[in-house]
Structure 1
Amino acid sequence: MATTTASNPSLAQKLRGLSGEVVKFAIVGLSGVVVNFAVFWICINGLHLASLRSNIAATLVAIATNYLGYRYWLYRDRDAASRKREITLFLLFSGAGMLIETGVLGFSVYVLGLDSHFEQLAAKVAGLAVATVFRFVSYRTWVFTAVPEPEAAEGEAPGLVAQAELMLATEEIRYAKAE
């Protein structure tokens, strides 16, 4: 089967698609960060819980809200045939991200002695940044997998997705020429 430029997007097209995904990931993640920090602040100031307990509670609440955003907005077009597998992997990678975030916070509080509320928030930001990169790669690679397109047999017409990509590429060329 011959490969066309429409079915094999250029690096620029792949990066453009990835940048849109990164922006949506950031929007869902930012809402999770707001939830995470709000619950964390309530736990350490209102409930007077220890910082690591507060972090775990806050992260668990944020994980739940983020799953809804990722599943039903960002990755809604991805394969949802096996929700049990998806949720299991999501919780596994989210838990690993929580360990990264909590590890950075624990290190700053118990090893470096940075234990004021604002120092804890700064450590939480640093841990969250590292954990976010880990989660982005994990979610897009293993959790919310793309629906595999059935391969067309030799001599058959390309699949529906390939046809749609070809139509979109044609439209982009027409718009580019019109400008």
Structure 2
Amino acid sequence: MDLPTRLRRLAGVGSRFLVVGALSTLIEVGVFNLLVFVWGWDVVAAKIVASLVALVNAYIGNREWTFRHRDRRGRTAEVVLFLATNAVCTALGAVLVWVGVEGVEAILGREPGAVAVNLVNLTSIVIVVLLRFVLYHGIVFRASPKP
């Protein structure tokens, strides 16, 4: 397959991934804000729970739409890889939120407000989304090997 065809195909997969990711991000941000600012949860615990809630949408959207053309290695193996990938990504997101909130607190000299906490959270989401795409594309929903 020539380079322009591969790039078009990757752009199509990438755009579908971003649509699913945008919806998952809205779910994650909504749950995160509900947990932190309505129910008073710790930001790290809220980040983990919000990520897990958004994962349900992410799996269904990516399996059934984004990567529907990809090989199905068996639902169990695929779900295990998906969960392992997202465990790593969720942990990374939680660490990024913790470090970011602590950093903002150190800079401000006080506990950061909702805007700063949400900027840190959204920054962590952008970083993790890039990693997720690479892992989903190359490992979780892999292409069938050429005969």
TM-score (structure 1 length as normaliser): 0.75
CA distance in 2, matches of 1:74, 1:44: 31
Alignment of 1:123 with 2:120, yes or no, is yes
Residue deviations 1:79-101 (CA, integer Å, cap 9, x gap)? 22321111111111111111121
CA distance in 2, matches of 1:97, 1:130: 9
Q: Which residue of 2 aligns with 1:21?
A: 13
Equivalent position amino acid for 2:42 in 1: A
Query: What does 1:1-179 correspond to in 2, within 5 Å?
Result: 9-113=1-105, 115-149=112-146, 151=147
CA RMSD of aligned residues (A): 1.3
Unpaired runs of 5+ residues, structure 1, are: 1-8, 152-179
Q: Do the aligned residues in 2 keep the contact of 1:78 with 1:147 (CA within 8 Å)? A: yes
Moved over 4 A (4+): none
Residue deviations 1:7-53 (CA, integer Å, cap 9, x gap)? xx211111111111110000000000000001011101221111111
Equivalent position amino acid for 1:106 in 2: W
CA distance in 2, matches of 1:119, 1:111: 11
Q: Do the aligned residues in 1 keep the contact of 2:81 with 2:140 (CA within 8 Å)? A: yes
Q: Do the aligned residues in 2 keep the contact of 1:89 with 1:143 (CA within 8 Å)? A: yes
Q: Do the aligned residues in 2 keep the contact of 1:100 with 1:130 (CA within 8 Å)? A: no
Unpaired runs of 5+ residues, structure 2, are: 106-110
Bigger radius of gyration among the two: 1
CA distance in 2, matches of 1:23, 1:112: 32
RCO higher in 1 or 2 (8 Å CA, sep ≥ 6)? 2
Number of residues of Structure 1 aligned to a counterpart in Structure 2? 142
Q: 1:116: how far off?
A: 1.5
TM-score (structure 2 length as normaliser): 0.91
